[in-house]
Amino acid sequence: MNDGARFDELIQSELDGLISERERKELHDYLARNPEALKHYNDLQALSLQLKNLQSVDPPAYLRTSILNQVHAKAIQQSSIPPPQTFKEALMAIPNSILGKKRAIVVGAVAVAVVAILYLTIDYPPASDEDVSGTIGGAQKAKKYRSEQMTKKDVDLKNARLQKALQNDKLQKLIKSPAFQSKLQNSAIWDALASSALREALASDAVREALANAEVREALAIAEVREALAIADLREALAKGQLREALQSAEAREALQSAEVREALANAEVREALANAEVREALSSAEMREALAIAEVREALSIAEVREALAIAELREALASAEVREALADAAVRDALASAELREALKSGDLQSAVQIAD
Amino acid sequence: MVVLDDAVLVQRFLRGDQGAFEALLDRYQKPIFNAALRITNNSDDAADITQVVFIKAYEKLQSYNSKYKFFSWLYRIAINESLNYLQGRRQLEQIDDELPSSDQTPEQSIDREEIQEQIEAALLELSLDYRIAIVLCHLQGLSYREAGYVLDVPEKTVKSRLFTARKLMKDILLRKGIMK
């Protein structure tokens, strides 16, 4: 590469903010010796500045409304395709050539699998220690984050990240709010501050933003919820918004008080499920929890394809059907889930396609 | 107020939350409109393109690959639509006619507003590839990599187009006496 090409590249890197210190020194040494190159450089810098100063133009006022009207019309158009009346009907529409004699079992089994994940998010009873060790952190592990009761003087403000976090405008505003001040009278909050994991979480912008939400602050007053936050994966989920959204639901906050639920939450798929509004809504059904207290269902959940099936909106909608819940009460249906053949059927792409006939 | 990132809004929209789409629209309506405006030099066309971009995004969000940033994906649609628009209306020829006269002498005093107009005019004198490189990397702040994804070309092509585009713009502005 000749000198000209080399320095053109360095100038470009400088304009784009991609130049290293060493390269910058090299460039400026060269420019000091070459007035022509210096003028070229200055012209390009001036051009960059002018481009930066180009003012952006506001779109016409009607545009937003016009776009929204069109997308709403599209949404209505899409929803006008009549879906099957119930989940059971949808499955019954699958040709015999696909399901044959397995139809009845599959209807019940898919329904059971659908609700299984819901149960997992609220009251997951591990079949044995071995069953869960590979996927979830464990409530036992969470215990190590529990802290001793503390006094105000124990709060360590020497940590630079924490100090920086406390100087943040949003946090300052939050601290000065009457609601937060009243929370400070609560010893549980001091317990929370004693947790180094929680202090670390406070250093994250996203977590501080989450704390500005009243429901989230309320959730933090619950000892078990704080314990949940001590799990690194959960803090990450909070930062991404999934868990933050979940904490705004009363049922989810209640569910978080169960050690098993916290364990389950350490699993990414379960967190994803909890981020779903329909799933959270379904958390209040006792019948579903009861129906799912069986090992086979949990086993079915370990199959990726089953979890994928759970992502289908129609299947979640099936939860509202009394027929599906009735099927859950049938021991034969639950037994069916123990069958490898049935699980194979659940993995079938044909089955999933058939379930999506509403699309 | 919690500011949700694009990925969260996209997920919410895919779960049926129409409000999430509105939030994405509010976030990107202006940048997309401005990108289209700089490429087409016509406010009505830019508004039409912005509308088409968001309607396509609404329809195709299911197929959006989350390994790319949402705004890169949106710009990709916007650039393609802008090109289609220009092609459809044979506007390339018209743009030449609309350019402000470049016969000003260097001695003429030029205020800031005029400089901005001249910069915009110089941008429109560039061929589309170079203009789009300036719009994406300079005006919209995309990295070489992001612009490469938007344009479906290698990063080094973006870099090379940007280099030439700057040089050409500089020459145009020197010729017009905006730079001395």
The pLDDT tens digits of the residues spanning A25-78 come to 999 999 999 998 899 999 999 899 888 888 889 999 999 999 999 888 887 776
Whether the per-residue pLDDT at A261 is higher than 80: the answer is no
pLDDT in tens, A262-287: 555 555 555 555 555 555 454 444 44
A354 min Cα distance to partner chain B (Å):
19
CB A246 within 8 A of CB A274: yes
Whether the per-residue pLDDT at B58 is higher than 90: the answer is yes
Please report the pLDDT score of residue A229 as a whole number: 59
User: Which of B98, B130, B164 represents a domain boundary (last residue)?
Assistant: B98
Give B176: exposed, middle or buried? Use CB within 10 Å, 0-12, 13-18, 19+.
Answer: buried
A252 min Cα distance to partner chain B (Å):
18
Instruction: Give the total residue count for chain A.
Output: 359
Q: Which of A46, A70, A210 sits opposite B179 (nearest CB)?
A: A46
- Give the mean pLDDT of A233-250: 60
Q: Which of A56, A276, A278 sits opposite B30 (nearest CB)?
A: A56
CA dist A221 to A53, A162, A188, A254, Å? 49, 20, 6, 12
Number of domains making up chain A: 3
Which of A278-292, A331-345, B85-99 ranks highest by mean pLDDT?
A: B85-99
Same domain? A165 vs A123 = no
> DSSP assignment, residue A155?
-
pLDDT in tens, A163-174: 454 455 655 665
Number of domains making up chain B: 2
Q: Place A175 in a pLDDT band, splitting at 50, 70 and 90.
A: low
A257 within domain boundaries: yes
- CATH number of the CATH domain containing B31: 1.10.1740.10
pLDDT in tens, B130-166: 999 999 999 998 999 999 999 999 999 999 999 999 9
* Number of CB atoms found within 10 A of residue B41's CB: 20
Which residue in chain B is spatially nearest to A5 when comparing CA positions? B163
SS3 A328: helix
Which residues form the domain of A342? 83-128+269-359
Chain B residues closer than 8 Å to A271 by CB: none
User: Which of B75, B98, B121 represents a domain boundary (last residue)?
Assistant: B98
Chain A residues closer than 8 Å to B163 by CB: 8, 12
User: Which of A250, A266, A282 represents a domain boundary (last residue)?
Assistant: A266
Whether the per-residue pLDDT at A291 is higher than 50: the answer is no
